[in-house]
Amino acid sequence: MKQNAADAITRDGKVLILAYDHGLEHGPVDFEPNPATADPERIFDLATHDAVTALAVQKGLAEAYYPDYESDVTLLLKLNGTSNLWMGEPDSAVNCSVEYADEIGADAVGFTLYGGSNHEVEMAEEFRDAHEDARERDLGVVMWSYPRGQGVKDDTSSGTIAYAARQGLELGADVAKVKYPGSPEAMAEAVRMAGRTKVVMSGGSKTDDRQFLETVEAAVDAGAKGLAVGRNVFQRENPTEILDALERVIFEERSAEEALRLTREDAEASPE
């Protein structure tokens, strides 16, 4: 069962998760660069792009918008999440049950684990329940594996990210989403530690097209299966163009350079 549970959120074994839980996790500040993106419909529309294998949202957005997109978008329901207003040791409230995620049409569930936080034990126990409930329903399981808190000195060091990826494997995630550890070698080590769990890179804050695509290329070359990205897509002026380029890097295994060139040529050939 484990090897097939995540099929719904992959394409040719690769993954491109469009993440849109920022209104909860970071607040409206993340919509400022592109104010129209405060409207969830914009992002659900984007998620119909061929490159997107799943859209990750919280329960409220799924309830309100997913009924209009059921046939065009694969739903990855994020089960926990906390606002930036919370100032305590990293923790994440469980906002949705697996049963309810399944009821509203999720193909997979997502769960954040803050390894190293003083709340790690409770979070891992909550993950256990979520994981086993998801297995009963044959839903894929994606772990946002983000070591942070008192036990973590450097949350993107090679050792920390390899450990984060390994936590995904040990605890049963189909996909472990980790931050880029700064070099292809460190990413390759995370991939090695994750074994049969697919590693995807977290998009992070917005960077320029070339820098972003080159990092994605490096991660994919190092064995990552793709990307889970929010701001680096929806904060751009033309999010569809960057999805076109990501499709070329992740699914067609082209270089960042080539993907950029082809995407620019397409834009010139059919200007809006």
Just list the catalytic residues.
146, 177
CB of 33 to ligand FBP, least distance (A): 11
Cβ(241)–Cβ(263) below 8 Å:
yes
Residue 25 binds ligand FBP (CB under 6 A): yes
Which one of 15, 16, 18, 19 is in contact with ligand FBP (CB under 6 A)? 19
Cβ(140)–Cβ(9) below 8 Å:
yes
DSSP β-ladder status, 198-202 and 226-229: parallel
Residue 79 binds ligand FBP (CB under 6 A): no
SS3 of residue 263 by DSSP? helix
Report phi then psi at 149, rounded to 5.
115, -165
Cα–Cα distance measured from residue 71 to residue 215, given in angstroms and rounded to the nearest whole number = 32
Cα-atom radius of gyration of the chain, to the nearest Å? 17
Nearer to ligand FBP, 86 or 264 (CB): 86
Which one of 105, 159, 182, 204 is in contact with ligand FBP (CB under 6 A)? 204
Nearer to ligand FBP, 19 or 246 (CB): 19
**How many residues at the interface with ligand FBP, by CB under 6 A?**
15
Contacts of 259 (CB under 8 A, 6+ apart): 213, 245, 246, 248, 249, 252
Nearer to ligand FBP, 43 or 56 (CB): 56
Q: Token pair 């979520």 is at which residue? A: 130
Cβ(222)–Cβ(191) below 8 Å:
yes
CB of 2 to ligand FBP, least distance (A): 23
CB of 268 to ligand FBP, least distance (A): 28
Which one of 92, 145, 232, 263 is in contact with ligand FBP (CB under 6 A)? 232
Residue 231 binds ligand FBP (CB under 6 A): yes
Ordered DSSP codes for 91-152: --EE---HHHHHHTT-SEEEEEE-TTSTTHHHHHHHHHHHHHHHHHTT-EEEEEE---STT-
Residue 59 binds ligand FBP (CB under 6 A): no
CB of 265 to ligand FBP, least distance (A): 27
- Stretch of 66-74, 160-168, 230-238, 245-253 contacting ligand FBP, by CB under 6 A: 230-238
Residue 108 binds ligand FBP (CB under 6 A): no
Cα–Cα distance measured from residue 68 to residue 62, given in angstroms and rounded to the nearest whole number = 10
CB of 94 to ligand FBP, least distance (A): 16
Footprint of ligand FBP (CB under 6 A): 19, 21-22, 25, 56, 144, 146, 202-204, 228-232
